[in-house]
Amino acid sequence: MKVPVNSIRAGNVIEYNGKLWVASKVQHISPGKGSAFVAVEAKALREGNKLQNRFRSGETIELVHIDERDCTYLYKDENGFTFMDKENFEQLVVGADVLDPDQSRWLQDGMAVTVSLHEATPVGVQLPKTVTLAVTEADAVVKGQTASSSYKPAIVEGGIRVMVPPHIAVGTKLVINTDDGEYMERAKD
């Protein structure tokens, strides 16, 4: 549906130049001289590249309706990642081109996610902000290393390498941020 560019807000999905974009930052600017405009920063829904564009205040832009469904991750095969809709138990296959490899490495069996659909086609998957994983490999603690805020590499379930504080040992459960892969804290049992 065409809407005035003034009504776009952060989080809206727009269609521009044949691609779907998620607006991340929207500024309404009225310079002292000249006409007002709207500066939009957006990220491509599928490709992940960024867009920075200025639109005149009177322009219209295509606002896209995105259907979000709560799903459970089931498995990965040659077709992509398979999720089950929690409401109607329908299975959705999301291609590997839609799900970023940095994000897909955090998927665990039974994980609750949100799948975004545009015209019944999956266009994105939103993972939980954090995951809890156990350490499978870690270097031994070196005495005196705690004086500085140094980190050591550790391997968690799934073979993922994470930098952790020196006191973390094998078997410790960690809370890890899925956005950047950073260690956050030890899991509270």
**Single residue among 75, 103, 126 that ends a domain in this structure:** 126
Q: Are 116 and 99 in contact (CB under 8 A)?
A: no
Collapse the DSSP code of 59 into the 3-class scheme (helix H, G, I; strand E, B; otherwise coil) and give the result. coil
Shared domain for 59 and 85, answered yes or no, is no
Cβ atoms within 10 A of the Cβ of 71, count? 23
pTM, full prediction: 0.74
Q: What is the average per-residue pLDDT within 53-59?
A: 89
Q: What pLDDT score was predicted for residue 7? A: 86
Number of domains the chain contains: 3
pLDDT in tens, 121-136: 888 888 899 999 999 9
Average pLDDT of the chain to the nearest whole number: 87
Shared domain for 8 and 51, answered yes or no, is yes
What CATH number does the domain containing 157 carry?
A: 2.40.50.140
pLDDT in tens, 85-128: 999 999 999 888 777 788 888 999 999 999 988 888 888 888 89
Shared domain for 26 and 74, answered yes or no, is no
pLDDT in tens, 142-188: 666 555 668 889 999 988 999 998 888 899 999 999 888 899 999 88
Range(s) of the domain holding residue 49: 2-64
Separation between Cα atoms, residue 129 and residue 21, nearest integer Å = 21
By the 10 Å C-beta count (0-12 exposed, 13-18 middle, 19+ buried), 35 is classed as exposed
Shared domain for 15 and 51, answered yes or no, is yes
What CATH number does the domain containing 10 carry?
A: 2.30.30.30
Q: Are 162 and 85 in contact (CB under 8 A)?
A: no
